[in-house]
Amino acid sequence: MDILSCLLVFGPMAAALLSYLIGRKSKLWRDRFVWLTVSAEFLLSLGLLFCPGGETTVPGICGLGLHFTADGFRSIYTAIAAFMWLITGLLSPEYFAHYRNRNRYYLFQLITLGATAGVFLSADLYTTFVFFEIMSLCSYVWVAQDESEAALRAGSTYLAVAVIGGMTTLMGLFLLWKELGTLGFDAMQSAKAASGADLTAASWLVVVGFAAKAGLYPLHIWLPKAHPVAPAPASALLSGILTKSG
């Protein structure tokens, strides 16, 4: 098992819970811990660029397990995401100085970081889907952070598009599995060539689901509502990483 890939995905999620506990005692030490976490994530992602890992499997998740591969563009995208979190994490304490519920924000910020790394390092569409949905649902908190009427309304729109898009993608994955018997990126093309299956419907369902997060027309309705109400560091991550992951 490639430990580095697991650290990049699950490390920030574990750190998120720890940061929440630290924040209940000291906000200063929580801010420092969060920045140390995103710094470590960035350094690990750089290590992945120069020392690419192999394949990693976490068995027992809904029978299919989670599969990661650390190579090529996967490592580059993970490093870019970690760099974005590093910069926003550096500037966030000053920006959030007068905000409420900062503990909650940092909790979901770090969970979303781990989920985003999971999306980029995934070796099959099932793993992509699992972490894509975690990323989408946790980032809802960013949009609704202010808890104002506009923020909650924008958050509801964001969440509705994310859930509908996720269910659409899931239907596409069911069809792909039925026709091909695999969701692995490296195996699907050969499976299609062997089976001669028509994947038009499945492909469109998957495309529509990811297009919702990418903000492609006509599924872009959440974008103009979410960005004005989300905190600036969250808006930077939404536009710079999360929409691009779609």
Angle between the N-to-C axes of helices 27-50 and 3-23, in degrees from 0 to 180, rounded to the nearest 10: 170
For residue 111, give the nearest of 212, 13, 240, 234 by alpha carbon.
Answer: 13
The SS3 of residue 216 is coil
Q: What is the pLDDT of residue 113?
A: 92
- Stretches where the chain sits below pLDDT 50 are 1
Q: Which residues contact 105 (CB under 8 A, 6 or more apart)?
A: 96, 99, 141, 142, 145, 231, 234
Residue 5 one-letter amino acid: S
Which of helix, strand or coil describes residue 39? helix
| pLDDT value of position 13 | 92
**What's the pLDDT score for residue 53?**
64
Is residue 164 a contact partner of residue 133, using CB atoms and an 8 Å limit?
A: no
Of the CA atoms within 13 Å of residue 221, those in its CB half-sphere come to 13
At 57, give phi and psi (nearest 5°): -125, 130
> What is the C-alpha to C-alpha distance for residues 53 and 207, in angstroms, rounded to an integer?
29
Residue 1 pLDDT? 44
Single pTM value for the model: 0.86
